Structure 1
Amino acid sequence: MLDTVVVSRALRTRAGAVTLLGGMLLITSTMGATPGVARGTDLADVAVGTGAAAGVGRGVGALADAQIPLYQQAVSVLPDGARDGVPSDALAVYLPGTRVPHPAAAVLASAVGATPTTTVAVGPRAAAAAADEQLAWIAAGRVPGAGGPHEDLARAALLDLHSLTVADGVVVAGWSPHWRYVWPRDSAFVAVALARTGHVDDALAVLDFLADVQSPDGSFHARYLPDGSGPPDDRGLQTDGTGWAMWAAGLVLAEVDDTDRTTEARRLAPLVERSAGRALRLVAGGLPPASPDYWEVAEGEVTLGTAAPLVAGLEQAAVVLDAAGLRGPATAAAAGAARARQAVVDAFGPTGYGRYATRTLPDAASAFVLAPFWAQPPPDAGAAWQASVPSMLRPAQGLAPGGGWRRDGVSWTPQTTLYAWVAAEQGDAAGAGRWLGVVERHRTSSGAIPEKLLADGTPAAVAPLGWSAACVLLAIDALDTGRASPT
């Protein structure tokens, strides 16, 4: 059968190369080929991993619009489970519906002086086998939004998560060196996204990895080496990871078949019971101590981004532990969740559920007191969350992590997609669609979801970013499966 290889969006940026390469790629292939549609230096733009230092607001001392490179446009999937970054300037061509580089296209791209998708030599049969494996993985689950306007974005997000999965249960945050680690926070969101798209076994494996690296006292370091041997540096503990692990365990368990629910709850119980024990100690006096949160900077006072996930986690811990038959620990977790919830409401409610309890400063963590995080959101939290948007909005119509974030023009896709998911869960389909549209319009040439968008919408920093891909899938899932809560 004759198949025409159609080059990806990147090819159309170089007219001469397109003409020549496009003609050369009219080939006979037994595999078939269409392109796949398809988280600044790591330290220089202050961002490291999934967080960044806070900066000044626009005004006196304001920052110019940041110029951050795109480190890679995708991660390619190679035979035998190998991965390779796709250069940002590559004329990337993939086998149909995958991130597996087309062998012939790579050779021809090199022949015309263009950057190939990968420099790793991949034979046709090996490439076909890798493509079949990736396609089979996607087919084993569900593509949210299938048949609707968000299907292509959902498929790209699934490809992002699969390409960032480097071993069973090991999903790195991104592919650039400073991101090629496992963050408990990111992995928690990924686990929920995997479960809700029909990949429950993969989701449970992600939580198994977290259980393996967790300290006996229930704490988590900021990030871990993919081989599970420990943290890569002395960044230290981050309290929110304990909350996120429990929260994810509960939401993943909700996707397990009823016949397997008790068995899987018992599988999750060690992770959850250790986490709940630590969380209960942390909130024994009300609010937990100060800790870095998703901003990944040292804090002198507790943030909502630390306190709210502990409430969400303890609520879900009660569910998991009860399902595992651990009635005493389940009761203790539920009681602790209620006490911690009231402490957060009393402290952060008066300042509009912003970053700190001592002053009003809008923050994306306002989303963490709403569904799908807290079972019973405070009555005034929805309005506070909506009110956070103006101070966080950036020129590309995405969001910064908070109103106190530096005004450098950069939108962050983790927060933009988080707001899409929360909007969908609140029943605001139009709002969810707007946030998803920002990401949809500004993906990389390979279709991957980047960590950042510059002021003009140019994708920047690492691509893909697992946290963002997870939130995209969860938002689309909430839209098309009726999960959205009534307003």
Structure 2
Amino acid sequence: MARDIPIGNGQILVAYDTDGLVRDIYYPHVGQENHVGGAVFRVGLWEDSAFEWLPNGWERSVQYLDDTLVTRVLWTHPGKALKMCFNDLVDFHDSLYLRRITVTNLSNRARRLRLFFGFDFSISGNDIGDTAALRLEAGGLLHYKNDRYFLINALLCGRHGFDQFATGNKRRQAFEGTWKDAEDGNLGGNAIAQGSVDSVAALHINVEPEGAEIAWLWISIGKDWNAVQGLNRTVIRRGPARFFQRTHDYWRLWSRKEPFSVEGLPDAVMRLYRRSLLIMRTQIDRNGAIVAANDSDNIQFNRDTYSYVWPRDGALVAHALDLAEYPETSRMFFRFCAGVVEREGYFLHKYTPAGMPASSWHPWVKDARGQLPIQEDETALVIWALWEHYRRFRDIEFISPLYRPLIKNGANFLMNYRDLKTGLPLASYDLWEERQEVLTFTVAAVYGGLMAAAHFVEAFGEHELAGDYRAGAATLREAAIRHLFLPETQCFARGAMFPPDGGAPVLDRTVDASACGVFAFGMLPADDSRVQSTLKHLHAKLWCRTEVGGLARYENDPYFRENTQVPGNPWFVTTLWYAQYLIASARRRADLIPALAILEWTAAHALPSGVLAEQLDPQSGRPLSVSPLTWSHAAFVTAVREYQQQADRLPL
């Protein structure tokens, strides 16, 4: 189930399902330690001796308030003449999750309602040794384990606390969960439970005919009792409305920090542009870790998640943020990279949000010989993105401490990790993490990384070294044209394997959208005939000929594939790469029309909340795999900014 709306502040991330119910809470790092793990925080309603768990027949709209990280989950039930709106947020500064509940009575009779809220925590990713308890001195329910504390409270009609509560056991022996206790409209009041536990609390809300009532619910989050109790007292003293308004205003200010509009771009595209920036921000930890995606449902697919930092994804996200004039955020990522890069100058496969090596399927040993289990494009693209950042902002004092560990060490690794016979990089794993060979995308990324490093060292006065890097990049480009360009199809191969005995290379002729890299990082210009023929070939072979459309990753891509009549499922990233080519190769504004169509296509296939998944079902257009994918939003922001730059410089 897709995560329709994420909210967060760089330390806390809360993600919701398509019904608008909480499914994930991460703390103290975005993407690390999920304290819900795909379980559900239920919402129930009791009236006139009848109980139901939502959504059960309720119509719902799951969106955001415009240009904010404040949700707008609207529940309506015409048969009940009742409407409820949940506006949730994570305070931009404090470790506080806050919900405003507006209940509107659409009938001409008074209503006596009971709203029930179920809290199904599995603290630190498991439900062993949790405690749920009522704390009278706080007026709320506390869930805790070790140094993770969650204090839940509410405010209604000037009175804080809950009207009913219960704690108990869940998913153990005969105990399905304490939430079952709510289904008769009354809670047992058990004050403490330990082990595998959950809790339920209720608010009794009286609503006048054709009137409305507002209630507040919040969770103070911290590492000990004093921290959560202190924050809880502050919310009670100041009032939750003040926290709500300040965070609402902060995100509107953040999303509109740089006035940006493009003549000819539809409102839907501009709305998705601003929404993409906000969603990208929810996936970035305060320490600079840019997490690929946070969707715990993916655990069911492979018993792992996307909640890691891939330096490649992060570099491309940071580049998008720089294009959008958010250098403060991208700087955090580059500092993160400087802290995790290996002494030899390369990056490992991926990292945890806290900056430790993450799980991997790339082996250190192959055919009884040691090897580096790396994706070399990750090292190259961090250097490339860092130069693009510096070229734009000229923040020399920021760059200075990164110069040796990140730029020079990384570039020296790229220079040395090469086959001296071919001039190409040694084999490494591809950006799709499925094969190990000499890849066109990796070659193009390494070219971009070496040229970026040449610019850097020249700026720092090391002219001879700059010449070496440029010569290495030139050799790389000529070798790519000589070994990887296929004259018979006029298209760059996906990659090749070069036998160690010097025999003929084994070319990987699979048509792969990653060949877009040949122009994306400067190895060849977009108007080069070989680039043009490659992109024409990619479009012919990989475009999904369905009503959905979009560009697949490569021929016969099996990942989440069900329809064998298409080359693979359409991905937002690959489709937007093709838009970037159309933008880069345009010579007058009319040439931008096909690229604009792809931007509109992207907006049309986003979820109603504005979330972009990794890929789409080619028949129904429903999201597949993780959602949101940070890279998808970054690719959209990048394409929009490049569209704007071209539109400004091109003649009519």
**TM-score of the two chains, using structure 1 as the length reference:** 0.77
Whole-Å separation in 2 of the counterparts to 1:186 and 1:142: 26
The alignment covers a number of residue pairs equal to: 412
Instruction: Please tell me whether residue 173 in structure 1 is matched to residue 304 in structure 2.
Output: no
What per-residue deviation string (whole Å, max 9, x for no partner) do you get for residues 156-188 of structure 1?
Answer: 211121121221422211112411111111111
Between the aligned residues of both structures, percent identity stands at 25
Alpha-carbon shift at residue 486 of structure 1 (Å): 7.9
Equivalent residue number for residue 315 of structure 1: 451
* Residue identity in the other structure for 1:283: R
Instruction: Please tell me whether residue 374 in structure 1 is matched to residue 304 in structure 2.
Output: no
Whole-Å separation in 2 of the counterparts to 1:183 and 1:233: 11
Alpha-carbon shift at residue 463 of structure 1 (Å): 2.1
Whole-Å separation in 2 of the counterparts to 1:201 and 1:464: 23
Alpha-carbon shift at residue 125 of structure 1 (Å): 2.7
Could you list the runs of 4 or more consecutive aligned residues of structure 1 that deviate by over 6 angstroms after TM superposition?
109-116, 483-487
Q: Which runs of 5+ in 2 are unaligned?
A: 21-60, 74-83, 87-100, 105-112, 122-151, 153-216, 219-239, 297-304, 363-372, 497-506, 564-568
Alpha-carbon shift at residue 222 of structure 1 (Å): 1.9
Secondary structure of residue in 2 paired with 1:165: coil
Q: Which runs of 5+ in 1 are unaligned?
A: 1-69
Alignment check: 8 A CA contact 2:495 2:509 kept:
yes
Matches within 5 A, 1:37-436: 70-77=1-8, 81-90=11-20, 91-101=61-71, 105-106=85-86, 107=101, 121-122=217-218, 123-143=240-260, 145=262, 148-149=265-266, 150-177=269-296, 178-235=305-362, 236-257=373-394, 260=395, 262-270=396-404, 271-285=406-420, 286-299=423-436, 301-350=437-486, 352-357=491-496, 358-374=507-523, 376=525, 378-394=528-544, 395=546, 396-406=548-558, 408-409=562-563, 410-427=569-586, 428-436=591-599
Comparing 324-333 and 393-402, the one that deviates more: 324-333
Equivalent residue number for residue 62 of structure 1: none
Give the 3 Å change call, closer, same or farther, for CA 408–274 of structure 1 in structure 2: farther
Alignment check: 8 A CA contact 2:579 2:639 kept:
yes
Whole-Å separation in 1 of the counterparts to 2:321 and 2:345: 24
Q: Which has the higher strand share?
A: 2
Give the 3 Å change call, closer, same or farther, for CA 275–485 of structure 1 in structure 2: farther
Alignment check: 8 A CA contact 2:424 2:443 kept:
yes
Whole-Å separation in 2 of the counterparts to 1:431 and 1:128: 41
Comparing 404-413 and 429-438, the one that deviates more: 404-413
Whole-Å separation in 1 of the counterparts to 2:261 and 2:424: 37
Whole-Å separation in 2 of the counterparts to 1:420 and 1:201: 27
**TM-score of the two chains, using structure 2 as the length reference:** 0.58
Higher RCO (C-alpha 8 Å, min separation 6): 1
Q: Which has the higher helix share?
A: 1
Alignment check: 8 A CA contact 2:5 2:71 kept:
no
Give the 3 Å change call, closer, same or farther, for CA 114–240 of structure 1 in structure 2: farther
Equivalent residue number for residue 482 of structure 1: 646
Alignment check: 8 A CA contact 1:221 1:237 kept:
yes
Alignment check: 8 A CA contact 2:319 2:385 kept:
yes
RMSD value over aligned CA atoms?
A: 3.0
Whole-Å separation in 2 of the counterparts to 1:462 and 1:146: 33
Alignment check: 8 A CA contact 2:377 2:445 kept:
yes
Whole-Å separation in 2 of the counterparts to 1:478 and 1:112: 52
Alignment check: 8 A CA contact 1:372 1:422 kept:
no
Alpha-carbon shift at residue 331 of structure 1 (Å): 2.0
Whole-Å separation in 1 of the counterparts to 2:541 and 2:16: 35
Whole-Å separation in 2 of the counterparts to 1:448 and 1:144: 21
What per-residue deviation string (whole Å, max 9, x for no partner) do you get for residues 418-442 of structure 1?
Answer: 2222321222412322222221111
Alpha-carbon shift at residue 249 of structure 1 (Å): 1.3
